[in-house]
Amino acid sequence: MFKKIGIVFVLLCYSIAAIAQTGRIDSVVMAEMKQQSIPGLSLGIVKNGKVIVSKGYGWANIEDSIPATENTVYKTGSLSKQFIATCILVLAKHGKLNLSDHIDKYFKDAPAEWGQITIRNLLTHTSGIERESPIFNWMKRQSDSELIRSVYKDKLRFPAGSKWEYSNMGYTVLADIIRKVSGQSFEDYMNHFFLSIGLKQTTTTTKSKSIDRARGYDRYDEKSGEISEAVDFVALRPSGAFSSSISDMIKWDAIQKGNKLLSPQDWGPMWEDTVRMPRSANGSVAYYGYGWFVREYMGHRLVHHGGNTRGFTSEYWKLIDDNTSIILLANANDVNLTKIAGKIAAILNPDFKTIQPVIANIDRYPGVYYNKQLAMSITITREGNNLIAQASGQQSFPLQYIEKDKFKFDEAGIEMYFNTDKNELTLKQSGETDIFIKE
Instruction: Report whether 60 contacts 40 (CB < 8 A).
Output: yes
Tell me the pLDDT tens digit for each residue of 308-322. 998 999 999 999 999
> Residues near 193 by Cβ (< 8 Å), separated by ≥ 6?
83, 87, 90
243 pLDDT exceeds 60? yes
CATH code 3.40.710.10 for 19-354: yes
pLDDT at residue 2, as a whole number: 42
Please list, residue by residue across 331-360, b when 16 or more beta carbons sit within 10 angstroms of its beta carbon and e when fewer do.
Answer: bbbbbbbbbbbbbbbbbbbeebeeeeeebe
Calculate mean pLDDT across residues 229-240: 76
Q: Say which residues have a Cβ less than 8 Å from residue 21's Cβ, sequence separation at least 6.
A: 52, 347, 348
Residue type for position 376:
M
Query: What are the residue boundaries of the structural domains of the chain, listed by start?
Result: 19-354, 362-438
Nearest to 366 by CA among 390, 349, 344, 343: 390
The pLDDT mean for the chain works out to 88
Looking at the domain 362-438, which fold is it? Lipocalin (2.40.128)
- Taking every pair of C-alpha atoms in the chain, what is the biggest distance, in angstroms? 81
pLDDT in tens, 145-185: 888 998 898 899 999 999 999 999 999 999 999 999 999 99
Rounded to an integer, what is the distance from CA 55 to the centroid of its chain? 20
Distance CA 382, CA 377 (A): 17
Segment 389-401 mean pLDDT: 83
DSSP E strand stretches across 180-298: 203-204, 217-221, 226-229, 242-244, 275-276, 287-288, 293-297
pLDDT-derived band at 140 (thresholds 50, 70, 90) equals confident
Collapse the DSSP code of 400 into the 3-class scheme (helix H, G, I; strand E, B; otherwise coil) and give the result: strand
- Per residue in 181-228, pLDDT (tens digit) is 999 999 999 999 999 999 999 999 876 666 789 999 987 776 666 778
| Strand order across the 312-319 sheet | 66-67, 50-61, 40-47, 324-330, 312-319, 300-309, 293-297, 287-288, 275-276
